[in-house]
Chain A
């Protein structure tokens, strides 16, 4: 708010320099600066660090599941433990890995890319982070604190869909579902706060000359995502509140005994759940939108179309949720409608894929590790999208629904697209965030191992799905031809694990003794490369002025600047 006219009646503190980055400070003081910070860069890093930790946690949960499924009739895990593992794995990966990652990147990059000194609402930013973070810890506290059906120590175990009425008091006694619902409400509040902040930042904090249509695509996509979050996370929060009303106050929203309808929950969950996957994938696209042009040495092809396609995806995705409910027993016209709307999502998504290919077309592609992850992402996302189209054919979905084919589809997007993009983004911006380059040699090992592990796991996972293997089963009988595929899948998961370990090692080692990055290691074009690495707390000493979508291009090529053509 512009109270610029108000006299400064409050003295400003003069700490001068940054505690924590000065040699004389104790670790406690360092901790204090991080805990009380309202700086978008520190918060962004905290989001990303937090997500990385939970990636390892949920990854280990996945490994345990894969060990259990490696052979038929295995007794490594009990059903109770297995059910908790996949519920916690799914919930964690979506809410405590995917969301923090994308919000972390948005936090770190959006102000830098639009030439601002901070987010619009820095204190809300800190609050949002802590809500998300504490929500995650709350969820995991259930492993210790929740007294479940099977006695002490129990975590949510009704899948990340939490389908009613299984989550009602009558079928889930104890507190596990309360932990689940409350944790999601908490992190939901954090997420909505972050989205509000991104929107306010983009609309109010752009530097001189940065019109909406000169914003980098990353900013556009994060703006779209933030808008989508507002109308996506809120229904989930509302539904969780209803569930809590049922569980604590004896309400009947989803209570089938009193005439309540479980189908209502299905709708509410998927009205959230489907757009949610696009909330996750749009920021991943955003990363590719920066990485691919830089390393192809070309402007993004069809910038306006990319913006329109993102908006289109966000919009259409609000009307396709029931493609997760083809087997619930909808009427034929209802099913047909959702076949059509789901198919139409493929159109703007296709535009994006075509535009990325067109951007690379005619370029001079530099295969840094970051670019390798981005290219792999395009290929894998193409395949994943096409299996999505298969799933959206309602009659076929009656067969494929709830099988490992679906699990394979969504890991192809969630890992093959989102995690790949996140790795791509980390290799790309790690130098900006820390001032050190990640080792490219270790990076190539990481890339190839992860690609190998990914394809071993998730390519072969389609097949047991086609052979009729349902998801959520902790055990299965031999003889259906699933065993050999499950072995391959399990081994692949461990290869992924090794690759991720390698990556962790790369980050630590490069942070300690990597090569100096300099302000602009990739010869890139957006504003974040116009300041030192890592950027000072105020980002830019002189607030930048831009004249086109690629301000640094204009400076590097004064003979052929973009602003002449846009």
Chain B
């Protein structure tokens, strides 16, 4: 590595270190005086310029044609670090497991898939409600996507039941973002939850969520809060949860990848540094494969 490449060879018992020098200070002081001259008088700036130039030239002299080093005497001692802690305890999950919490997990994509499926499923009861109660396909979309805001503060019934592009876009963005996030969260927490993931995620979580929304929707989106039919809302939420849970549960679980180095897991590959490390990572994988599991 460069750190030893650059140093000139030093005789035994010595080490070559960069030699101390005052030139950087002279340069800095020169710049200070230049600046000070700007607020006081040009003469000071001139002095500063002289100092700065000589500082710069002096600095050049330090590094040209080669960096100046000084020799420092060095005593080499072996150092054997010791700890007062004599042993390391382990978490006992099973005999060969040391440090990686859940052993298997639904993959991240499983959660996302669940979220997507749930999000699509949820559209059905929501739209159904609009169709049944108001004979409109767009009612639910418009409620979510912007009625009650700014120039659309008090839409008429006709307006809410008819297509409006901005509302569709807003609603789609909100709905997609929330579905994906909830799916992700769901996928991530599933392995940590006790049994009955579908019951928990499909029934209990939606009820909790609806409760929270019921309490806070008047502020988040008061118009939606006024117009919403809570039974249908709960039904939609449960539809989301059931479908998402079902999809996530259907996905194959994969083993935790904790033991791979970060770079390997992310799949970072850039020439030079990484290539070799990747190689090394592969070695270690087989290595810990034998040792750890």
Contacts and interface: CB of A to CB of B under 8 A. Distances in A.
Contacts of B69: 12
Interface string A123-137: 110110011001101
Contacts of B284: 563, 566
A565 B273 contact: no
Contacts of A14: 70-71
B228 interface: no
Interface string B1-20: 11111101110000111111
B2 A124 contact: no
A433 B140 CA distance: 66
Contact of B1 (A124, A206, A529): A206
Interface in A186-205: 186, 189-190, 204-205
B39 interface: yes
Interface in B30-58: 31-32, 35-36, 38-40
Contact of A10 (B25, B38, B68, B85): B68
B4 A538 contact: no
A519 interface: yes
Given A205-B2, A207-B3, A123 B79 contact: no
B288 interface: yes
A1 B284 CA distance: 32
B63 to A, nearest CB: 7
A564 B73 contact: no
Contact of B36 (A117, A138, A555, A564): A138
A564 B288 contact: yes
B81 A552 contact: yes
A80 interface: no
Contacts of A2: 2, 5-6
B273 A212 contact: yes
B4 A560 contact: no
A305 to B, nearest CB: 9
Contacts of A146: 39
B29 interface: yes
Q: How large is the interface on B (under 10, 10 to 19, 20 to 34, 35 or more residues)?
A: 35 or more
Interface of B is mostly: mixed
Interface in B187-219: none
A566 B62 contact: no
B66 A559 contact: no
B259 interface: yes
Nearest to A3: B66
B10 to A, nearest CB: 8
A186 B265 CA distance: 43
Contact of B288 (A4, A559, A565): A565
A385 B151 CA distance: 34
Given A530-B79, A564-B291, A179 B39 contact: yes
B74 A541 contact: yes
Contacts of B88: 557, 559-560
Given A4-B6, A204-B2, A182 B262 contact: no
B263 interface: yes
Contact of B77 (A35, A183, A190, A541): A541
Q: How large is the interface on A (under 10, 10 to 19, 20 to 34, 35 or more residues)?
A: 35 or more
B271 interface: no
Interface string A117-158: 110001110110011001101100100011000000000000
B74 A182 contact: no
Contact of B35 (A182, A207, A212, A542): A182
B291 A38 contact: no
A511 B69 CA distance: 31
B277 interface: yes
Contacts of A12: 8, 10, 16, 19, 68-71
B229 to A, nearest CB: 29
Nearest to B287: A564
15 contacts: A2-B2, A4-B5, A9-B65, A9-B66, A13-B70, A16-B72, A36-B21, A37-B20, A38-B20, A123-B23, A137-B32, A204-B2, A213-B262, A541-B74, A559-B87
Interface of A: 1-4, 6, 8-10, 12-18, 33, 35-39, 116-118, 122-124, 126-127, 130-131, 134-135, 137-138, 141, 145-146, 175, 178-179, 182-183, 185-186, 189-190, 204-208, 211-213, 248, 297, 303-304, 307, 332, 362, 519-520, 523, 529-531, 536-538, 541-543, 552, 555-557, 559-560, 563-566
Interface of B: 1-6, 8-10, 15-25, 27-29, 31-32, 35-36, 38-40, 59, 62-63, 65-66, 68-77, 79-85, 87-88, 91, 98-99, 150, 259, 261-263, 265, 273, 277, 280, 284, 287-288, 291-292
